[in-house]
Structure 1
Amino acid sequence: MIGAVVTRALPTNSAHPTRKRHVGSSGKPLHPWSIVRRKQWRCSRDRCRAVGYDPSDSLDDENVTSSVSDALAFPEMIATYEEDAGIQTKYRNWRIWIFAMIWLSYMVYYLTRGSFTYAAPTMVKDLGWSLKEVGRITTVFPLMYGCSKFASGVLVDVLGSRTILALGLVASGTINILFGTQSALLTLAILWGANGFFQGFGGPSCAKLLTTWYPSEQRGTWWAAWTTSNNVGGFIVPLMVGSISSTAGWRVGMTTPGVIALVAGVIVYFGVRNKPKSVGLPSPHEKSYSKQDSDRSPAQDESNASPSDIVFKYVFPNRAIWALAFAYFFVYIVRQGMVSWSHFYLMAEKGIPDAAQASATVSGLELGGLVGAMVSGWLSDKVQGHRIRVVMGYCLGLVLALLAFRFAPSGNQAVNAFLVAAVGFFIYGPQMLIGLIGAELSHPVAVATGNGLLGWIAYLGAAFAGEPLAILVNQFGWKYYFLGMISCCALPIILLAPFWNARKYEDVC
């Protein structure tokens, strides 16, 4: 081992035949000062290794024994690396806490988003409505939600994630509570439209926090794990609101998620921190965690950018954001096209006799999507952040899955269920990753705004999957439905090909 102390016995004719002395690698006796320096170095080496650094990787025997000052310089090095170890521990704890906050908050957003859907059957009976009134209320939600995604992104970049994330929860919770006290159709439609607007505050806020707190090489995994919150929320809300509405009435069913959202909003406001700097930590984008770097931030020089600068200087001129936005548009057509029409296709073409069985088969879309999103995030980290390549690969896989779904033999429900899950696997990967890529290819001061723009255009794609696809099926048949869906899978590959190597904002601007 470099720098090790070597002991050799003296010759037998020495005056002290049993005494040993310290010698260097050349065999010459060491000066007493060198022995002291070596002992200091060995102690320093062990302490450095304890915090994950081995100085023997960069120092040789001559460097160690050259001067007393070399040995005495190690305590400063040790202090630096021990400080790094403390920072890493603090960072790990804060990352776990921040992730818990954004995961739970987004899950609660889904509780107040889906509450009306599962309270509506009881409302219809109680208020003497038909499905027509329910349809009018539900129509205003996606319109307001899509518009809110872009506007809330600007607000997040200006006011900070913590404020907007908590405000959205408190506002949505309050609206759910007020909804449970009203009966007039117009009032309820206005309230539900306002809920759609404040629901848009969640996604951009969480996207900003994920890009601020987590390094690029880990972000895909963290982002994918965060997206599971909507699956969990979507699973809980029908059980909670549906059971409460049937036993205690729809008004209590609406009020319960509202109260939960109010409590969650308060916890988020006091528990979340916008940046690592606010708790004395360096930016995760810095390779060094030394003290002198702790005040650095990629956006330090432009942290006070105005909303107009954010939109017109950093977002609109960004070619990659627009390419991602239109790729998102087509991905959402495929996603919503499967959600809205695949059960009709199963009944019309695959021999499934009733809507219940078709719906059960289509439920595999979400299960496959959950696995696909997690795998895509993990895989995008493994390929060193080349996430666009993963999206393009998933789109190609989606083409193959849709073709298999189209030409699979009818009558075999197990095969159809597997193919629906496979389609979901390849849909939800790009859906998750495009939002993450948009955050990474945005200027640091415009992450939420860029993410909001993507969400807005994506929901336009979801709307396009409604009546236009219905017309396509009614006039031309299912063959052209699949032709349109496969075309929508191919277009993102073409749009994203120019950005094959892009991983960060500097690669595209």
Structure 2
Amino acid sequence: IQTIAANLNLDPSDSEHMKTILSYASHWDAWKWCFWLPACLAVCGALWLYVGLRDDPRSVGLPELPGTHTGKSDAKGGKTPSRGKFLKAMVWTNRWIWTLCIANIFVYVMRMGILDWGPKFLTEARNMSIEDAAWSVGAFEIFAIIGTIFAGWATDHIFHGKAHRMCFVCMALAVVFMGIFIMFPGLPIIVSTLFLAMAGFFIYGPQALIGIASANHATKEASATANGLAGIFGYFGSFVSAIGIGIVADRWGWNMVFYIIIAVGILGALTFISMWMAPRDGYARSNKFYEEQEAIDGLHEGESHESK
């Protein structure tokens, strides 16, 4: 109890604070399971992926998905451009990939800001017990699972595969529910938790769909590079969230933290809406790239014949 009181900057002899101290003491040493359980689940997931995952439909005797032809020549002895040229065309100079990367920063700042700092905010600013705070953040995650599935369904059935449009809708609605959550602190715990959970319902959609949109725009031949690039930007957002929110909370209080999270969500929504008219994938871009390369190769071959 003395250690917990010291960590919380509380006086253990103060009877008003004893309830808080004892509440934290009841969870003493339980924090280790917060690491053991995810680690075990990660190992099980890795084994499942290693055993069950396949490279593409052809590796299990299935035909390629319609509309995913990249224009790459399959003719025996046919020339293909270098991998570097293809990545440059489909990833490094593809403005839709970079737009998704920038949007991923805002998504991760908003998502991790709530997930990492939510329990501390709820206990300090909303005076919840640690149990109520844990259940509130747990509801946030449960709704996030449902919201991710819904976002995938809506992308296919409402937006016809244009994931960036669903991302905009999700970010906008996440901002709305976060705004209600922070603007009305006097709501009952259940209602307040519901609004926080609805924010989770919508914020996890873009987190999942950005990877899909990146893969679609880079095509199957460069999807890994595009996803890796988007992931780097996402983890940069996590870093900013982890460091920045703590500094803001110490200097300007928790309300300012959530005002900033809402502002970040608005920036994310604006980033997504900037690509509203983008195509659903990059296969037309890939076909054009290969056609241009074939024309260039044909021109070079003609010049070499003339020189001979």
| In the alignment, structure 1 residue 341 sits paired with structure 2 residue 117 | yes
Q: Return the alpha-carbon distance in structure 1 between the equivalents of residues 89 and 167 of structure 2.
A: 27
- After superposition, the C-alpha distances for 1:409-443 in whole angstroms (9 at most, x for unaligned) are 43622112212211110111111111111111113
In structure 2, relative to structure 1, the CA distance for the partners of 1:507 and 1:470 (3 Å cut) is farther
- After superposition, the C-alpha distances for 1:425-462 in whole angstroms (9 at most, x for unaligned) are 01111111111111111133101110111111101101
Give the Å deviation of 1:339.
0.9
| In the alignment, structure 1 residue 276 sits paired with structure 2 residue 57 | yes
Q: Which residue of structure 2 lines up, in the alignment, with residue 285 of structure 1?
A: 66
In structure 2, relative to structure 1, the CA distance for the partners of 1:240 and 1:479 (3 Å cut) is closer
Letter paired with 2:132:
Q
Instruction: Determine which of 132, 135, 149 is the counterpart of 1:374.
Output: 149
In structure 2, relative to structure 1, the CA distance for the partners of 1:319 and 1:359 (3 Å cut) is same
- After superposition, the C-alpha distances for 1:437-491 in whole angstroms (9 at most, x for unaligned) are 1111113310111011111110110111012111111111223212211111111
In structure 2, relative to structure 1, the CA distance for the partners of 1:240 and 1:426 (3 Å cut) is closer
Unmatched tracts of structure 2, length 5 or more: 1-28, 287-308
Q: Return the alpha-carbon distance in structure 2 between the equivalents of residues 373 and 438 of structure 1.
A: 17
In structure 2, relative to structure 1, the CA distance for the partners of 1:391 and 1:481 (3 Å cut) is same
- After superposition, the C-alpha distances for 1:84-122 in whole angstroms (9 at most, x for unaligned) are xxxxxxxxxxxxxxxxxxxxxxxxxxxxxxxxxx99849
Q: Which residue of structure 1 lines up, in the alignment, with residue 282 of structure 2?
A: 505
Q: Return the alpha-carbon distance in structure 2 between the equivalents of residues 329 and 460 of structure 1.
A: 7
| In the alignment, structure 1 residue 420 sits paired with structure 2 residue 204 | no
8 Å CA contact 1:473–1:481 kept in 2: the answer is: yes
Letter paired with 2:254:
W
Aligned residue pairs: how many? 252
| In the alignment, structure 1 residue 238 sits paired with structure 2 residue 37 | yes
Letter paired with 2:70:
P
8 Å CA contact 1:332–1:431 kept in 2: the answer is: yes
Bigger-Rg structure (1/2): 1
| In the alignment, structure 1 residue 359 sits paired with structure 2 residue 134 | yes
Q: Return the alpha-carbon distance in structure 2 between the equivalents of residues 264 and 346 of structure 1.
A: 36
> Secondary structure of 1:465's match?
helix
In structure 2, relative to structure 1, the CA distance for the partners of 1:386 and 1:314 (3 Å cut) is closer
Q: Which residue of structure 1 lines up, in the alignment, with residue 295 of structure 2?
A: none
In structure 2, relative to structure 1, the CA distance for the partners of 1:348 and 1:393 (3 Å cut) is same
In structure 2, relative to structure 1, the CA distance for the partners of 1:273 and 1:432 (3 Å cut) is closer
Q: Which residue of structure 2 lines up, in the alignment, with residue 453 of structure 1?
A: 229
Letter paired with 1:505:
G
In structure 2, relative to structure 1, the CA distance for the partners of 1:267 and 1:482 (3 Å cut) is closer
In structure 2, relative to structure 1, the CA distance for the partners of 1:262 and 1:471 (3 Å cut) is closer
Flag the structure with more relative contact order, 1 or 2, with Cα contacts below 8 A and sequence separation at least 6: 2
Percent sequence identity over matched residues? 27
8 Å CA contact 2:90–2:217 kept in 1: the answer is: no
8 Å CA contact 1:299–1:444 kept in 2: the answer is: no
Q: Return the alpha-carbon distance in structure 1 between the equivalents of residues 42 and 169 of structure 2.
A: 39
In structure 2, relative to structure 1, the CA distance for the partners of 1:366 and 1:306 (3 Å cut) is farther
Give the Å deviation of 1:277.
3.0
Instruction: Determine which of 286, 300, 325 is the counterpart of 2:72.
Output: 300
Q: Which residue of structure 2 lines up, in the alignment, with residue 150 of structure 1?
A: none
| Pairwise CA RMSD | 3.2
8 Å CA contact 2:90–2:285 kept in 1: the answer is: no
In structure 2, relative to structure 1, the CA distance for the partners of 1:339 and 1:483 (3 Å cut) is same
Give the Å deviation of 1:507.
6.7
Q: TM-score, normalised by structure 1?
A: 0.45
8 Å CA contact 1:369–1:426 kept in 2: the answer is: yes
Give the Å deviation of 1:337.
0.2
Q: Which residue of structure 1 lines up, in the alignment, with residue 11 of structure 2?
A: none
8 Å CA contact 2:214–2:227 kept in 1: the answer is: yes
Which moved further from structure 2: 306-315 or 424-433?
306-315
> Secondary structure of 1:363's match?
helix
Give the Å deviation of 1:301.
2.8
In structure 2, relative to structure 1, the CA distance for the partners of 1:346 and 1:119 (3 Å cut) is closer
